[in-house]
């Protein structure tokens, strides 16, 4: 089972929830957590994993052999990202713009282009107690996160449950991280920003056709508009975590919620069972 933990708005508690869900399940299943927020990976801060391996993330980019190049300009014309400029006697490439599609290399009539790897990040893996862990880290100054996320996603093979901690927002890094999930947990908070960004996240998840449920973090007396919205959209509110200074303080020190307040372990296990039931029912319904 592959569960993504996402939210439109940043700082709603994705990392808090993804790590606690993983820790609550690890005694019963083989669980792996993947930190897909490769721009700002924070799961490591709470889980303190022992890193046992790492691999660079390379994107392929063109290298021009000027001796063979006739400066015909075809490579520049076929590049959709304007990553190549052909001058009279010289070809300039802009690595940060290149998506590594390979069109220039394939279409060069002189066979003057070779693709060479360029490192844009790393993927690391390891263990935190019996929990399998992996994260991607985007190199400072690099713009494109999807290649790092794509490679990170290949880290999970033999696990029963995979939990992906997704970056904030609703655009390409989020889509790349969520794609392929069986279920998506959307974390929100009872503020106007929380509601606004939840509606964007729900639209995105519906576009991808992934079933989802909501967790209200810092829940309190202002939950009504979130609950109303969820009811209107037919999305279950699966869990509420109260606004609690002890949880906030533990998080500030890098202590996972289920370690600070072990009573939450059961709630997270129930949450998982709830998701399991939903998926079984959904499956049965779609087979009919």
Partner 1 sequence: MKEIVILSGKGGTGKTSIAASLAALADSKVIADCDVDAADLHLLLRPAVTEQHEFWSGHVAFIYTDKCTECGLCQEKCRFEAISQFTVDPVACEGCGFCARICPVNAITMHEVMSGHWFLSTTKYGSLVHARLGIAQENSGKLVALVRQQARELAKTQSTDFIICDGPPGIGCPVISSLSGADLALLVTEPTLSGIHDLKRIIDVCHHFAVPAMVCINKFDINEDNSRDIAAFCQNVNVPVAAKIPYHNSVTEAMVKGVPIVEYCHNELTEGVEQIWCRIQNTISN
Tell me whether residue 161 or residue 215 sits nearer to partner 1 (CB atom): 215
Residues 186/9, Cβ–Cβ less than 8 Å: no
Q: Considering only the stretches 8-16, 85-93, 229-237, 278-286, report the one whose residues sit in contact with partner 1 under the rule CB under 8 A.
A: 8-16
Q: Considering only the stretches 24-32, 98-106, 257-265, 274-282, report the one whose residues sit in contact with partner 1 under the rule CB under 8 A.
A: 98-106
Rounded to a whole number of angstroms, the minimum distance from the CB of residue 275 to partner 1 is 22
Residues 156/186, Cβ–Cβ less than 8 Å: no
- Interface characters, 222-251, with partner 1 (x: CB under 8 A): x----------------------x--xx-x
Q: 108-127: which residues touch partner 1 (CB under 8 A)?
A: none
Instruction: Rule CB under 8 A: say whether 102 interacts with partner 1.
Output: yes
* 50-64, strands of its sheet edge to edge: 50-64, 113-128, 131-138, 31-35, 161-165, 2-6, 183-188, 212-219, 237-242
Residues 127/54, Cβ–Cβ less than 8 Å: no
134 to each of 125, 128, 138, how far by Cα in Å?
Answer: 4, 10, 14
Query: Virtual CA dihedral for 266, 272, 278, 282, nearest 10 degrees?
Result: -160
Q: 123-182: which residues touch partner 1 (CB under 8 A)?
A: 138, 140-145, 167-175, 179
| Residue ranges binding partner 1 (CB under 8 A) | 8-12, 15, 37, 39-40, 42, 45, 78, 80-81, 99-103, 106-107, 138, 140-145, 167-175, 179, 191-193, 196-197, 200, 203-204, 207-208, 222, 245, 248-249, 251-254
């Amino acid at each position: 089972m592959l569960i993504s933990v996402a939210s439109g708005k940043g700082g709603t508690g994705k990392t808090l929830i993804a790590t606690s869900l993983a820790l609550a399940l690890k005694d019963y299943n083989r669980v792996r957590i993947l930190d897909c927020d490769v721009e700002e990976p924070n799961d490591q801060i709470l889980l303190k994993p022992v890193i046992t391996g790492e691999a660079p993330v390379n994107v392929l980019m063109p290298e021009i052999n000027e001796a063979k190049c006739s400066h015909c300009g075809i490579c520049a014309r076929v590049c959709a990202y304007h990553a190549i400029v052909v001058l009279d006697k010289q070809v300039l490439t802009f690595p940060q713009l290149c998506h590594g599609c390979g069109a220039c290399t394939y279409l060069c009539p002189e066979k003057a282009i070779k693709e060479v790897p360029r490192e844009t990040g790393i993927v690391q893996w390891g263990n935190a107690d019996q929990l399998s862990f992996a994260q991607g880290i985007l190199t400072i100054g690099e713009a494109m996160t999807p290649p790092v996320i794509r490679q990170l996603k290949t880290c999970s093979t033999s696990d029963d449950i995979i939990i992906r901690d997704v970056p904030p927002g609703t655009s390409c890094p989020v889509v790349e991280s969520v794609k392929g999930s069986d279920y998506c947990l959307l974390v929100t908070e009872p503020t106007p920003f929380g509601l606004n960004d939840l509606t964007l996240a729900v639209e995105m998840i519906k576009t991808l056709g992934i079933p989802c449920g909501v967790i209200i973090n810092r829940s309190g007396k202002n939950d009504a508009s979130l609950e109303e919205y969820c009811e209107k959209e037919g999305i279950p509110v699966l869990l509420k975590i109260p606004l609690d200074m002890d949880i906030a303080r533990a998080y500030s020190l890098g202590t996972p919620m289920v370690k600070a307040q072990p009573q939450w372990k059961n709630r997270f296990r129930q949450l998982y069972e709830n998701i399991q039931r939903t998926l079984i029912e959904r499956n049965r319904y779609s087979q009919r």
